Structure 1
Amino acid sequence: MVVLNILKAMLAFCFLILIHEAGHLVAAKLVGVRVEKFSIFFGRPLFTKVMGGTEYSIGWIPMGGYVQLYGMNDEIDEKDSHFTKHPWKKIFIAVAGPFMNLVTALLLLTVVTFNIGGYPSLEINGFSETSPAKEAGVLSGDTITKINGTSIKIYEDLQDQLSKNNGEDINIEVKRGDEVKEFTIKPTFDKDQDKYIMGITFKTARNLTVGESFTRAGNQMISFTKLTFKTIGNLVTGHGNFKTDLGGPVTIVRLSVESAQAGWINLLYLVAVISLQLAIFNLIPFPALDGGSTTIYLIELITGKRFRIETIQKITSVGFAILMGLMLLVTIKDIFFPVSLQ
């Protein structure tokens, strides 16, 4: 069973890489760039097949993949060369990979949301005995719409705002019939839950339709994206915890195996989150990432001048070396300070 779960985790990881690189592949072909090679993983090929002028292969080092485009590494002045294409077409190719990861995350979260059902709504159902919300004048049947001026779309948004507030007074806006009411609430700390609460219980929503699941999945992605940037910001400014807030390849595999053991819905959920984070990570404007390439092509678009291939290769090589060094550090961190699912 353990071996089977490891296999599931590996297949899930392969799937995300395949989707990402397929995005680059399809985009390149759509704008008329010849694709010389499409590889899942790096290293010596374990499998190779040539179709439609493109060599498809699977490497033995499970650390990403790549699409080799004609004219991307040489200044070849031909119609199907990447080098001769307009910057907009180059940008289209670069962002297509992350875009496919975003689409994958959205579809998987929609499937998960539709199959789980019974999510907490934002309509208040009741209160604890010492509820600060009840004391402030909030009533059963009220629906929370804003906290501290921030719109609340889903239950996770509410939890996120509460965690940010850290026990300070909360300004809450609720909808009561056709009226909008505002209250100031002082959360209390619950030792059992180890967090600040308002002493509110919420009605459980009915199972969602496919359309509603799609909308909720989109809102979840927005919440995850905000949380990801907040975490990155905290790490950069020194307010985060390197040991608990950052995970690498070892963490991905371990959590994927744990999720596979918990059931296919849990695995799909984790794959969706990883797919979203892959998209966000790849769009960072750093050399060797899709965001770095996009930045270069944007500069070409604005200035009207092409970068020399040699210059791009040097920038990319430095970026790649830095990324590999960071990945090594994160992998070592993963081994000694593993990230928890909790």
Structure 2
Amino acid sequence: MEVLIMAGQLILGLSILVGLHEWGHMAAAKMFGMRVEKYFIGFPPKIFSFQKGETEYGIGAIPLGGFVKISGMIDESMDTDAMSKEPQPWEFRSKPAWQRLIVMLGGIIVNVVVGIFIFIVIAYNEGDRFLSSAEVNKYGIVAGELAQEIGLKTGDKIVKVNGKPFANFSDVVSSEVFLGSNSSYTVNRDGKEIEIDIPNNFIEKLSDPEEKGNFIRPLEPFRIGELVPGLPAEKSGLKTGDKVVSINGTPIRFFHEMQAELQKLKGKSATLVVQRGNEQKTIPMSITDEGTIGIMSESLLNYTTVDYTLGQAIAIGTQDAFGVVYNNIKGFGKIFRGEVSASKALSGPIGIARMFGGIWDWARFWQLTGLLSMVLAFMNALPIPALDGGHAVILSYEIVSGRKPSDKFLENAQKVGMVLLLGLMAFAIFNDVWKAVF
């Protein structure tokens, strides 16, 4: 079921973004009087289509893209027969270069606008909820295996990031830290300050969603939050608001301590002592084979909540949207410098689906859809033949030089671009499968 939910979110998100991207091309083309023959979400074979005016609108069976067929334009269809005829007034090739450039940039512009809009709405509706550095450092951090690899320990208090104090715990695990070079933490350990260097290729290990949660998190005192119906916690009489004092005599103060103790007791029985109001209760219960009892924890740390005005949301949402592009540029920089391998950094459809997760969470869905909209704009802007950016470079050359490249050159450039893109897609899919299996 989780696989179907992942796939459903991926298909819906990509269909929205690709549909809007191709609509951007179509709207610009129609604005300048160009004939749009086809507008499809998904690639052939065709599932459904209808004709309206000069344009056939349809849905393809392969939901990982889409296309617009504009008369007189050399594209992935490679319709060279049509290109051998005399140009017609309604064709792409008959229009001025500046109009053709706007058509090619139409999809990128729409994706940028959509991405910014999504991030603005998220900022306005949700505001921000975070842990301050002072609140985290009441108790320090839980250091997972990856954190321990670089020298962090549970109980460390991070006081500086890259030599500077921080206000928000999210700054500790931000892209500035992992996509930058020579990053470091300054930690307070037993009253002494220690520098912890972060390897430049550390982002490779954090690229796997399962590993990312194995880095650091705050040490959190907790109480029982929501109970999952039908699982041991509810069946045994545990209640929302209870505080776990011990499990089989082992004292419990922080949530990670309870998790660790339950993992030792998979499939066994345990005795929990909980604080309920002014009295302690002893509750026997069974532990699932996964080492869980069916609760949601409620942190007793004090989170700071900030609501944004519309003006603030516009500024913050725009900044967050373009931050995605900036992070992609920095990520490619790490690949080109050899600090990160492409196989670790790049993800295809399977990797993206795993980012959505196996639970349908609309807040997460729109967050990732906004991110993908900006990534789609960035990737399409790359100066690779067959991508919008490649067409834009050629058209910019034509505008500056006044000389239009030959149709033969454009055909060959399109072929080279298609080979590169198909190779990249094959690599991404194979890489996803390899990481999932091995």
> TM-score band (shorter)?
0.7 to 0.9
The CA deviation at 1:89 is 0.7
Q: What is the CA distance between 1:48 and its match in structure 2? A: 1.6
Task: Find the residue that maps to 1:284 and give its secondary structure.
Answer: coil
Question: Residue 42 of structure 1 contacts residue 60 of structure 1 at CA under 8 Å; is this kept in 2?
Answer: yes
**2:128 counterpart SS class:** coil
Q: Which AA in structure 1 matches 2:363?
A: I
1:108 aligns with 2:118: yes
> Which residue of 194, 202, 213 corresponds with 2:313?
213
What do residues 157-189 of structure 1 show as CA deviations (whole Å, max 9, x unaligned)?
A: 7734444342278xxxxxxxxxxxxxxx97557
Q: Which runs of no fewer than 5 residues in structure 2 stay unpaired?
A: 75-82, 140-155, 187-192, 199-212, 219-300
Looking at structure 1, the residues matched to 167 and 38 of structure 2 have their Cα atoms a distance apart, in angstroms, of 44
Quote the Cα distance in structure 2 between the aligned partners of 1:126 and 1:246. 33
The range that moved more, 156-165 or 90-99, is: 156-165
Q: Which residue of 314, 325, 329 maps to 1:225?
A: 325
In structure 1, C-alpha distance between the alignment counterparts of 2:34 and 2:177, rounded to whole Å: 49
Alignment partner, residue 355 of structure 2 = 255
Deviates more, 1:229-238 or 1:18-27: 229-238
CA contact (8 A) 2:115 2:373 kept: yes
Which residue pairs with 1:32 in the alignment?
A: 33
Q: How does 1:149-188 map to 2 (within 5 A)?
A: 159-163=174-178, 164=180, 165-167=182-184
Give the distance between the partners of 1:202 and 1:31, measured in 2 at CA: 56
Q: Matched residue of 2:184: which SS?
A: coil
SS in 2 for 1:337: helix
TM-score normalised by structure 2 residue count: 0.61
Please give the alpha-carbon distance, in whole angstroms, between the structure 2 residues aligned to 1:28 and 1:233. Answer: 35
Q: How many aligned positions are there?
A: 306
Q: Per-residue CA shift, 1:37-78, capped at 9, x if unaligned?
A: 111122222112111211112122223111111111426433
Q: Which runs of 5+ in 1 are unaligned?
A: 135-145, 170-184
Verify the 8 A CA contact 1:248 1:327 in the aligned structure 2: yes
Is residue 32 of structure 2 the alignment partner of residue 21 of structure 1? no
Larger radius of gyration: 2
The answer to whether structure 1 residue 78 and structure 2 residue 178 are counterparts is no
Provide the identity percentage: 25
Q: Which residue of 2 aligns with 1:139?
A: none
The residue type equivalent to 1:209 in the other structure is T
The corresponding residue for 1:143 is none
Question: Of residues 380, 384, 391 in structure 2, which corresponds to 1:293?
Answer: 391
* 1:120-139 alignment, distance < 5 Å: 120=130
Q: Which moved more, 1:33-42 or 1:111-120?
A: 111-120
User: In the alignment, what sits opposite 1:9?
Assistant: 10
Could you tell me how far 1:326 is from its partner in structure 2? 1.5
Q: Which residue of 1 aligns with 2:100?
A: 90
How big is the shift at 1:222? 2.5
CA contact (8 A) 2:163 2:184 kept: no
Question: Aligned equivalents of 1:202 and 1:224: distance in 2?
Answer: 29
Give secondary structure in 2 for the equivalent of 1:326.
helix
The aligned counterpart of 1:182 is none
Structure 2 CA distance, aligned partners of 1:300 and 1:64?
29
Q: Distance in 2 between matches of 1:38 and 1:44?
A: 14
- Offset from partner CA, 1:197-240 (integer Å, 9 cap, x none): 9xxx9982422223322221111122221211111121123211
Residues 187, 122 of structure 1: alpha-carbon distance in 2 compared, 3 angstrom cutoff: farther
1:127 Cα deviation after fit: 5.5
Please give the TM-score of this superposition, normalised by the length of structure 1.
Answer: 0.77
Cα offset for 1:254? Answer: 3.2
Distance between the aligned counterparts of 1:20 and 1:218, measured in 2? Answer: 19
Whether 1:264 and 2:362 are equivalent positions in the alignment is yes
Amino acid of the residue matched to residue 282 of structure 1? N
Residues 119, 189 of structure 1: alpha-carbon distance in 2 compared, 3 angstrom cutoff: farther
**Closer/same/farther in 2, CA of residues 147 and 217 from structure 1, 3 Å limit:** farther
8 Å Cα contact 1:126/1:202 also seen in 2: no
- Residue 335 of structure 1 corresponds to 433
1:269 & 1:132 partners in 2: Cα distance? 28
Give the match's secondary structure for 1:119: strand
Cα RMSD for the two superposed structures: 3.5
Letter in 2 for 1:104: V
Residue 128 of structure 2 is aligned to residue 118 of structure 1: yes
1:40-51 alignment runs, 5 A limit: 40-51=41-52
Inter-partner Cα distance in structure 1 for 2:132 and 2:411: 51
**Structure 1 residues 133 and 337, CA gap change in structure 2 (3 angstroms):** closer
SS of 1:239's equivalent in the other structure is coil
1:62 aligns with 2:160: no
The letter for the 1-side match of 2:306 is: R
Q: Which residue of 2 aligns with 1:284?
A: 382
